[in-house]
């Protein structure tokens, strides 16, 4: 059997982590090592290793992740002040978990990139 990603282990309850949001296709948790006051991960239940692996039929899933990011930003009242949605891909971007996820980062002034 293929090794489960850390996020699949969180979803199945093998690793304890509060689930902040969940629907049929995605779930969201707080990042264990936040880089800003608000740092949430929006994760598809379907394991896709990197953005390089998405297919045309994943389009709805990817846009759904962005919409959930927008919804959580509003819920956390950072929609007006501002936030970032980031997907790191492979080593130069610092991807460390090979199960795609969208970082929602905000709650304070972020450094320019």
User: Footprint of ligand 5GP on this chain (CB under 6 A)?
Assistant: 6, 15, 17, 29-33, 41, 88, 94-97
Instruction: Catalytic residue, from 39, 99, 101, 103: name it.
Output: 101
Residue number, 20 or 61, with CB nearest to ligand 5GP: 20
Q: Tell me if 87 sits within 8 A of 100, measured CB to CB.
A: yes
Question: 68, exposed or middle or buried, with CB in 10 Å at 0-12, 13-18, 19+?
Answer: buried
Q: Tell me if 106 sits within 8 A of 36, measured CB to CB.
A: yes
Compute the least distance from the CB of residue 75 to ligand 5GP, in Å: 18
Compute the least distance from the CB of residue 88 to ligand 5GP, in Å: 3
Catalytic residue list contains 101: yes
Q: How is the beta sheet containing 19-22 ordered, strand by strand? A: 19-22, 26-30, 38-44, 102-106, 83-86
Residue number, 33 or 57, with CB nearest to ligand 5GP: 33
Catalytic residue list: 101
């Amino acid at each position: 059997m293929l090794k489960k990603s850390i996020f699949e282990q969180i979803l199945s309850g093998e690793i304890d982590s509060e689930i902040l949001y969940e629907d049929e296709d995605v779930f969201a948790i707080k990042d264990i090592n936040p880089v800003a006051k608000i740092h949430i991960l929006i994760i598809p239940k379907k394991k896709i290793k990197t953005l390089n692996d998405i297919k045309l039929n994943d389009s709805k899933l990817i846009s759904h992740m962005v919409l959930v990011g927008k919804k959580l930003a509003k819920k956390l009242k950072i929609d007006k002040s501002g936030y970032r949605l980031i997907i790191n891909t492979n080593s130069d971007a610092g991807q460390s978990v090979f199960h795609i996820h969208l970082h929602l980062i905000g709650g304070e002034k972020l450094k320019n990139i």
